[in-house]
Structure 1
Amino acid sequence: MNPHGRTRRYAVRPFALATALTVIGICVAKEWQGLGRLHFLGYDYAFFYNAFLHVLAGQADWNHLYNPASERAFLTAHGYPMDPHNHYVYPPQFAWIFAWLGLFPFGLSLALWRMLSMTAGMFGVYWTMKTLWPRIRRGHFLLAVAATLTLTPFQLDIAVGNVNTILFALLALAFYAIHRLDKPTVGALALAAAAAIKVTPLALLVAFAIQRRWNVVTRSLSILALGLAASFLFLGWESTAAYAAHFLQFGKQSMANGPAPYNQSLLGVLELLWSKGRGGSTPTWLSLLFDAYALALVFVIGAAMRRKPWTSESIRIGLSALLPVAVSPLVEQPHMVLTLPALMASFHLIRRHPVASARRTYALLLATAYGLQTLPATFLVNHLTRWVPSLYWLHIQMFVSFACILGALLMMARRHASRPAARTATVA
């Protein structure tokens, strides 16, 4: 052991940490300044807050809660830009759960929402790490938090005031309760809460059904049904019924905002490449192609999660986290926060992989996936496409990141499945 070498390493660490924090701070400040110039800071939360006010005023019916004229008046009064395709598109239960935030003035309420989201994000990172690593060091946790702070989806979600970071925390809690603590009821509570806030997390129930975790599926649905029934006492049932009837219409309205970079699903990417960045209507065949892709992906992910005895819990966690993003025809950049458990599960698996050559391949995929989600990559793409418009296709970076994570997890699942059982037992 060289004591001088160890001393040098300890001396370098504070410098490296200070440099990393400086770079993170500059990137975050630049991102928020850019959003501020566009008047997008708190933009999504303005729709939420307007819905909260309606619930507090006893106007939880469809005509008030989802009234475009009311939304336009509120956004105009607070200096936000108008877009005819943007609306409050969440279930009435979301506005009911968080209506207490409408008791505060808008600026203070937005600050509280951001504090809640930031706290939820930190807990989400912690729960995910505890699921994968039973014992974690404080330094490793702080490093994971710092890495999360560099991600464009996380910063964008906090800045505009969306709810994806809170959803990430609920899904992380569900994974922790189910896979580490073996408490399916706690996991079901978290999943039901996430589904009451937004419909997308219901895809997680498909993942647990594939794994035959029927206790999680049935308890989640039972708790969700009880929660809906309780909400009807305050909201009535009409607004929920109307929301269900208009759900597909909401999706079409949101999709009208255009392809990537707004929509980072495969459908958004194909639309961008088809229109060459000029916009326009979506051909029917593109929608049909995406439907076939989403269905095929469910079967592929399901097959990977059902492999036994070789498939580890980490692969199941990663693939389950990716499923809501995989099947959604609309993936905005903040939605990519939901891929964080898959990123961390991939890192955990790569560090444990016994084959060096394969480990390098998976590490390259993971580094690419993480790098494409970071703020510097977003800044670079934005600048390049502004200077050279013909590079419009670079705006598919979030989809490429998703594809890299999915590819790494599927390949690791396949590798484990092809290994002889005796060899697996030796390695384990």
Structure 2
Amino acid sequence: MDVSARTGRYAIRPFVIAMALIVIGICVVKEWQGLGRLDFLGYDYAFFYNAFLHVLAGQTHWHQLYNPAAERSFLIAQGYPIDPHNHYVYPPQFAWMFAWMALFPFDASLALWRVLSIAAGMFGVYWTMKTLWPRIRRGHLFLAVAATLTLTPFQLDFAVGNVNTILFAFLALAFYAVYRLDKPLVGAIALAAAALIKVTPLAILLAFAIQGRWNVVARTLMVLLLGLLSSFLFLGWDSTAAYATHFLQFGRQSMANGPAPYNQSLLGVLELLWNKGRAGSTPTWLSLLFDVYAVALLFVIGAAMRRKPWSSDAIRIGLSALLPVAVSPLVEQPHMVFTLPALMASLHLIRRDTRAASRRTYAAMFGLAYGLQTLPATFLVNHATRLLPSLYWIHIQMFISFVCILGVLLIMARRGASQPLTRTAAVG
């Protein structure tokens, strides 16, 4: 054994880590400063807070809770820019669940919301790690949380005050309860809470149905129904019924913000490449192409999750987490927080792979997927396109990251590269 070489490697490791932390810290500061100059810090939360105020005041009718004029007035009062395509597009139950946040002044409420989001992110990482590795070391948990905080989707979610990190925590708890604790009711409560906040997590319910976990599906629907009925006692039923009828309209309004980098789905990427970064209408055939892609991908993911006994729980967790991003026509960068369980599941599978050649390939794909989501990569892309506008097409890094993660999981599912989760494995 070359002791001197090992000593030198261990000596340089703290230096490399320290330099990486400094670079990431600078990127975080610059990201928040840039959003501050654009008056986007807390921008999304302003829409939430306005809805919370309406619920506290008993103004829960559709035309009150989703009043664009009231939203614009509140945003102008807080000094935020006005975008005609942005509105409060979440279910009335979200405003009902968090209306107590409006008991505080806006700035204090925003600060509390960020604390809740950061705590949710940490718990989400912890629950995901505990699902994959039942015994985890504090150092590995610290590194996982630190690595998560370097990701652009999480930083954007914290900065603008959106709810995706809290949704990630609920989904991580659902996976932990179902796959590790074997407590479907706890998982159902977490999943139903996420679905009451935002419709997107219902895709996870579809994933459980594909896997034949009907106990989770049935309990989730029951808890969801109870949650809706409870909300009707205060909200009434008309705002929820109107929300359901306007759901597709809300989607079209959000899509009007444009292609990548705003929309990192395949549809957003195709729109970017078709229009070459210029404003313009999107041909109908692109939307039809995406519909075909979404259906085909849903079939492929479903088949991979049902490849018994070859597909492990880690593969099912990863593919389930990717499902909301995979089939959605609108994937904003903060939405990519849902890919973190898939990233961690990929790492778990790669560490267990005994084939050196395939392990190197998977590790390269994993490294690319993670690296493209980090803040330094986002800054590199932004600066490159600012200097060379002809490089507009490189604003698709989040979609490429998604493809890499999906590729690792699908290939491993096909090759049967892993075994079911055990209760004795440990990180290290």
Query: TM-score, normalization: structure 2?
Result: 0.96
Q: Distance in 2 between matches of 1:89 and 1:268?
A: 20
Note if contact 1:263-1:331 (Cα within 8 Å) is conserved in structure 2: yes
Q: What does residue range 24-35 of structure 1 map to in structure 2 within 5 Å? A: 24-35=24-35
- The question of whether the paired residues in 1 share the 8 Å contact of 2:120 and 2:166 is answered with yes
- Deviations along 1:229-262, one digit per CA (max 9) or x if unpaired, are 0000000000000000000000000000000000
CA deviation map 1:251-304 (0-9, x unaligned) = 000000000000000110111111111021121111111111111111000000
Q: Secondary structure at the match of 2:86?
A: coil
- Where does residue 242 of structure 1 map in the other structure? 242
Q: Which has the higher contact order (CA 8 A, sep 6+)?
A: 2
8 Å Cα contact 2:151-2:374 kept in structure 1: yes
CA contact (8 A) 1:153 1:336 kept: yes
The CA distance in 1 between the partners of 2:22 and 2:60, in whole Å, is 46
Q: Residue 352 of structure 2 corresponds to which residue in structure 1?
A: 352
Say if 1:272 and 1:279, in contact at 8 Å, map to a contact too: no
The structural deviation recorded for 1:11 is 4.4
Structure 1 runs, 4 residues or longer, greater than 2 Å off: 1-21
Shift of 1:18: 2.8
* In structure 2, distance between residues paired with 1:10 and 1:407: 33
Aligned match of 1:365: 365
Inter-partner Cα distance in structure 2 for 1:390 and 1:179: 47
Aligned to 1:410: 410
Distance in 1, Cα, partners of 2:13 & 2:233? 57
Where structure 2 has 5 or more consecutive residues not aligned to the other structure, the ranges are 420-428
Q: Distance in 2 between matches of 1:231 and 1:333?
A: 30
> RMSD of the TM alignment (CA)?
1.5
Aligned length: 419
Matches within 5 A, 1:167-316: 167-316=167-316
Distance 2:278 2:24 in 1: 33
Alignment-mate amino acid for residue 234 of structure 2: F
Confirm or deny that 1:43 pairs with 2:43: yes
Give the CA deviation at 1:314: 0.4
Find the aligned partners of 2:103 and 2:191 in 1 and give their Cα distance. 27
How many Å apart are 1:386 and its aligned residue?
1.0
List alignment gaps of at least 5 residues for structure 1. Answer: 422-428
2:66 paired residue number: 66
Aligned residue runs from structure 1 range 333-344, under 5 A: 333-344=333-344
Structure 2 residue identity aligned to 1:185:
L
Q: Give the CA deviation at 1:3.
A: 6.7
The answer on whether the counterparts of 2:24 and 2:376 sit within 8 Å (CA) in structure 1 is no
1:142 is matched with which residue? 142
CA distance in 1, matches of 2:2, 2:375: 38
Whether the 8 Å contact between 2:44 and 2:160 is mirrored in structure 1 is: yes
Whole-angstrom distance in 2 between the partners of 1:361 and 1:279 = 38
CA–CA distance in structure 2, aligned partners of residues 103 and 377 of structure 1: 39
Alpha-carbon distance, 1:45 to partner: 0.3
Q: Secondary structure at the match of 2:278?
A: coil
Q: Distance in 2 between matches of 1:393 and 1:5?
A: 43
**Contact 1:192 1:223 (8 Å CA) reproduced:** yes
**8 Å CA contact retained: 1:373, 1:398:** yes
Residue 425 of structure 1: aligned partner: none
User: What displacement does 1:396 show?
Assistant: 0.7
Q: Secondary structure at the match of 2:191?
A: helix
Cα distance in 1, alignment partners of residues 297 and 2 from structure 2:
51
Instruction: Say whether 1:401 aligns with 2:401.
Output: yes
Look up the SS of the partner of 2:351 in the other structure: helix
Of all paired residues, the percent bearing the same amino acid is: 80
Does 1:82 find its partner at 2:61? no
1:424 corresponds to which residue?
none
Distance 1:249 1:14, change over 3 A: same
Q: Distance in 2 between matches of 1:208 and 1:307?
A: 14
The one-letter code of the counterpart of 2:377 is A
* Counterpart secondary structure, 1:101: helix
Q: Which moved more, 1:18-27 or 1:296-305?
A: 18-27
For 2:241 and 2:213, the matched residues in 1 are separated by 29
Mapped contact 2:265–2:399 kept (Cα < 8 A): yes
Query: In structure 2, what is the equivalent of residue 377 of structure 1?
Result: 377
Which deviations, in whole Å up to 9, do the C-alpha atoms of 1:138-178 show, x marking residues without a partner? 01011111111110000000000000000000000000000
